[in-house]
Every structure is written in C-alpha cells, then in structure tokens.
Amino acid sequence: MFNFLRRQALRKKPFPLTWLDVLQGQVAWYARLTPELQRRLQGRMQIFLREKTFIGCGGLTVTDTMRVIVAAQACRLELHHEPSHFPHCETIFLYPEAFVSTVTRMLPGGVIEQMPTVRIGESWHRGSVVLAWNAVEASAWAEWTGRNVVLHEFAHQLDSGSGAVDGVPVLRNAAAYARWEGVVDRSLTRLRLHLNRGEVPIDPYAAQNPAEFFAVITELYFEAPHVLRAFDPELLHLLEDYYGVFPVHSAEAA
C-alpha cells in the first residue's frame, strides 16, 4: 500500500523541464507519442528514477541526461502494459563505453574456464543492469537499426520476472504460456536452420538460447518491426500481444 501511494505521488509530480529537454532533443521516438502516452512515460520515469540507483564506472560521472535517457528507454518497454517497474533491478552501472566482463563457463571434463569478454550491456538476474553509455546514447537517437542495448538488457529483466531467465516473461494465463512456447520454439528452430544454411534473417546472437532470443526480438519489435515481420509474422503478433501495441514506425517499415 505504501509503495502504491508513494508511486502515485511520484507519477503526479511535475516533470522537470530539463528532463523534458532531454526527451525532446535526444530521444527520437518521444515526439511520436501521443500527449497521453508522453504523460504516462513521464510518470513511469519519475518512479524509475527515484527507485533505481545509478553508479558511474570507469571514470564516468553520471549526469541527469544519462539517467533520463536510460529511464525513457527502459520505461518504453512497459508503456502499454501494467508496469512491473523492474523490481529486480536496483542499480544501473554505467561505463563510458564497451567494458570487459569475465564470462565463466564449464568445458568438457568439468574444467572451468574464465574468459574476458567485451560487452556493451549486461543484466543480472538479481540486482543490476550494466550499460555502456555511448551505446545507450547512440541507440536513443539512431532509429530503425534494430539494435538497442537498453531494450535488450531490460527485456532480460522482464524475462527474470517469471523467476528464471529463460526467454519467457510473466504472461496472463496458461494458454498464453502454451502459445508463447509453441511460437518461440518453432521460430528459434527456424532461425537455427537459416543460420546453418548461411542465411542471416536476424541477429545470430538470438540463436544462443531462448533468453537471448527474447531480448533480440524485443529490440527488433521496437526498432525494426519490418525485419521481424519479414522473418516471422506470428512472432511479431506474439510480441504485439505481450507489449500491448504495435510500435509507431517509419514509412520504410510500414
């Protein structure tokens, strides 16, 4: 109850004009939202920015511009559905650019290998998201590339809402889970067949596992829906039902 009332008060707070300047000047899709959706986004961002802690890494000083651009893109994912407010993400670590992360994996014979890997984003099941600021900034302004690191990492956060990071977010009912599993299994199998033939209909990273598949198709849904439609129209409809609306997009994408 306390959370509900506190969030209701935050939603109604006047949105700072300096934040509005950032949305209008540096977030390309903001201008295409209806006034009602702009207000809704602002309210959700007020909650996001109050509840999440931002920490600069690698010498980066986090500014309000950075916080606003991350918040806008994360909140865009839930603009048309009942918001979860990403309860498992408490902290967002921002690096100035791509960072090195150590990936641990088990090799045959039980040998554990630790490999440094360069990344622009990471999502941890409990607690945090890590982002490269230059990639965040570029994806807020460059549209229709099909790439958006904030959408990708926060899709992982939505995925983790169901308990496991397995490519299945929280859905309405048992029928929705059954449909999700059927459409995604078939689509992921088809993607792997394409890749085996040397065809690349969407980012091959999606073929890694169902969790990456969900994160990559989320990026495409918002940033290049025409590519997703050409790959698998049923998959596009699945995301339309989940995210709640078909994104407004360019004439090229129509």
Of 30 and 243, nearer to Zn ion (C-beta) is 243
**How far apart are the C-alpha atoms of 235 and 243, rounded to whole Å?**
12
Containing 123, the helix (H) or strand (E) segment is: strand 121-123
CB of 152 to Zn ion, least distance (A): 6
CB of 21 vs Zn ion, minimal distance in Å: 31
Please state the φ and ψ torsions of residue 161, each to the nearest 5 degrees. -60, -25
Which CA distances in Å does 94 have to 67, 117, 128, 214, 253? 10, 17, 11, 23, 32
> 7 or 152, CB closer to Zn ion?
152
Residues found near Zn ion in the complex (CB under 5 A): 212, 215
| CB atoms closer than 10 angstroms to residue 242 | 19
Pairing of strands 53-56, 89-95: parallel
Q: Which is nearer to Zn ion, 215 or 235 (CB)?
A: 215
Smallest separation (angstroms) from Zn ion to the CB of 8: 33
- What does the longest C-alpha to C-alpha distance in the chain come to? 59
CA 112 to chain CA centroid, nearest Å: 30
Cβ distance to Zn ion smaller for residue 19 or 95? 95
Report which residue's Cβ sits closest to Zn ion. 215
In the complex, minimum distance from the CB of residue 238 to Zn ion, in angstroms, rounded to a whole number: 19
* Residue 216 Cβ vs Zn ion, minimum distance, rounded to whole Å: 8
Give the three-state DSSP class for 92.
Answer: strand
Q: Closer to Zn ion by CB, 24 or 208: give it.
A: 208
Q: How far is the CB of 148 from Zn ion (least distance, A)?
A: 12
CB-nearer residue toward Zn ion: 68 or 77: 77
203 vs 212, beta carbon nearer Zn ion: 212
To Zn ion, the closest distance from the beta carbon of 232 in angstroms equals 19
- Enter the tokens of residue 193: 């067949």
- Runs of H (alpha helix) within the chain: 2-12, 17-26, 35-51, 64-76, 133-141, 149-160, 174-196, 210-223, 225-231, 233-243
